[in-house]
Amino acid sequence: MIHQSIKYFGHLFLFWMTFFATDRFLFLFYNLNELNLSFIQKIEPFWQAFRLDLSTACYMIFPLFIIWLIGLFIPIKKIEKIIKIYFLTLIPLLAFGIILNLEIYSEWGHQVNRDTFSYLKYPREAWASSLNSPLMLLFSLFSVYTFLFLKWGKYISQLDWRMFKWASGLNRKRILINLVKGLLAFIIFGIFLRGGLQLAPINQSFAYYSTNPTLNAAAVNTIYNYLYGFTREAHVNPYKFFSEKEIEKLLYQDYSKLSNAPKIFSKPQPNIVLIIIEGFSAELFKSMGGKNQLTPNMDKLIENGLLFDNIYATSTRTDRGLVSILSGYPSLPNISLVKQPEKAAKLSFLSQHFKNLGFTTNFLYGGESEFANIKSYLLNAGFNQIIDKNNFNSKDFNSKWGAHDHVVFNKALKELKKLKEPFFSTILTLSSHEPFEVPMETIIHGSDRQSLYKNSVLYTDKIIGNFMKEIQKEMYYKNTIFVFISDHGFRIGNATNREKRRYHIPFFMYGIPLKEQWSGKKISNVGSQSDLAKTILGQYKIKTNSFKFSNDLFTNRSGNAQYTFSHGFGFVSSKQSLIYDYNTEVVTYSNSKETTSTQQIFFNTGKAYLQKAYQDFIDRK
């Protein structure tokens, strides 16, 4: 029985892996014939896609696997007919989607998604749009594709499956034996289905590997992409408070009143090392009101650096924080932009702007960059090199999330030496993430969450201090600005998940190229982590019009900051702040002493900002 089962499921896996490989060959032939790529580059998507293809094959086989499990206990006599129906249903449908994807990508520059099928509501217009496509070629490809794989499917259905002979019936011994076999098979099948035993279940990021979007699109399994897209809810803006004209009026900014950004760097194009610190809250820092010595090394840097002490994270998760920092884009309730690569690819990227300016770029992280689809976002961002868990020795995986911060920063010291100047390097820490286990002697005793977190903060601060001491020995140090910001805050003490204290984060710069008059200075303009992009790029005289949700903190003296949570937002200015719960349609908190009309304008501005941001997200296709 086991031998026969392996044989039959082997046929099915071979069938679907060949089906996917054929799709990939057609996609490359259709979309890469004009690109100047070597033969190796053109075939690389095949092996980069292997794990995602294998997982998708499991999804395709899943109905037959369930029937096989049932057949362990109940006789199934018409299996040939069931398998025929299975192939006759799936193959034409999937072949149509694959052929459609060839032309859609060629014309629109992205793979077929839910939005593509929304145009079928307008069949006349859809048909008119297709008239310039090579319909005869596409129809021929569809016909041959469908015919060949239906022929193969018919062959598989005619194999002697004999499932009715395997059923245990009421025999207790056979029931027990088949139960064990079924359980083991289910576990193995489940591991293949999720793509392995790694921390994050498989997603598109596991296939992304190149800065060429077409090669990445070839590596991402077309059928997986369909399944992923259609299992997600269609996006409709729930936050429709105002008309477009009303939004424009509420968010209008008189640029004539904005001051020119001062030049704070003494050198024209200093290197940038951007250090994104996992989960650090502003109140940890003595320089921002902290009472405990939890960040002595970074506080020392702040004494000789430039501090922005009134900055707020846009959300409470790393995947949202990365988008806000690197793309100057707001966080939206219940949405992670990095999990939707086709939309994330349409963003502007801090790294790409530096790359266009001639900077070498890299990204270092000790964990799985595939987690939450972050890798696809980073590749779209144009980083020349992404160093993650896969680039460290297995002995260095001393954290639940991967390599601890001391390993990552030691790696950074080696990698930065290799970069051609000028460079833009981003380092994302992870040791101050739950479960807060760090390779350091315990200083703050206690097994509660707060104590464990503060110990991890002490550890990361110590590692950053060591890193800064070591990097001073490097030649490029004198021409490098170090930018520190947190990806999100942390709920310290009695802080709640919705109050602004939870989102208040550190943001400061340090480095020899920082002009003396800015050393030790503090800027208290209210801002968001999404303002980092324009603030930094403004110092390089780079056009930043594409970062429409980001503000230059040097020019925008009366800024606001918005953070979001599940169906609601907080809105902060220098004079007032509020929390709005969309589900109850109630402002649950307001500390304003302004007039009622001023408060209402402030509230409306927050609603308008959220509505505009959400609509912008929907419109990115």
What pLDDT score does 203 carry? 85
What pLDDT score does 370 carry? 84
What pLDDT score does 201 carry? 86
Please name the residues in contact with 242: beta carbons below 8 A apart, sequence gap of 6 or more: 250, 604, 607, 608, 611
Instruction: Say whether pLDDT at 122 is over 60.
Output: no
Instruction: Please state the CATH superfamily assignment of the domain spanning residues 269-513+523-559 in this structure.
Output: Alkaline Phosphatase, subunit A (3.40.720.10)
Sign of the four-CA dihedral 55, 59, 65, 66: positive
Lowest mean pLDDT across 116-130, 149-163, 217-231, 556-570: 116-130
* pLDDT digit string, tens, across residues 514-524: 999 999 999 99
* pLDDT digit string, tens, across residues 306-357: 999 999 999 999 999 999 999 999 999 888 898 888 889 999 999 999 999 9
The residue type found at 43 is I
CA-to-CA distance for 439 and 310, rounded, in angstroms? 32
Q: Widest CA span of the chain, in angstroms? A: 87
CA-to-CA distance for 295 and 297, rounded, in angstroms? 6
* pLDDT digit string, tens, across residues 356-410: 999 999 999 999 888 878 999 999 999 999 999 989 988 888 777 889 999 999 9
Burial class for 15, CB neighbours closer than 10 Å (0-12, 13-18, 19+): buried
Please name the residues in contact with 137: beta carbons below 8 A apart, sequence gap of 6 or more: none
The residue type found at 482 is F
Determine how β-strand 311-312 pairs with β-strand 504-505. antiparallel
Instruction: Say whether pLDDT at 183 is over 90.
Output: yes
Instruction: Kindly list the domain boundaries of the chain, sorted by start residue.
Output: 2-230, 269-513+523-559
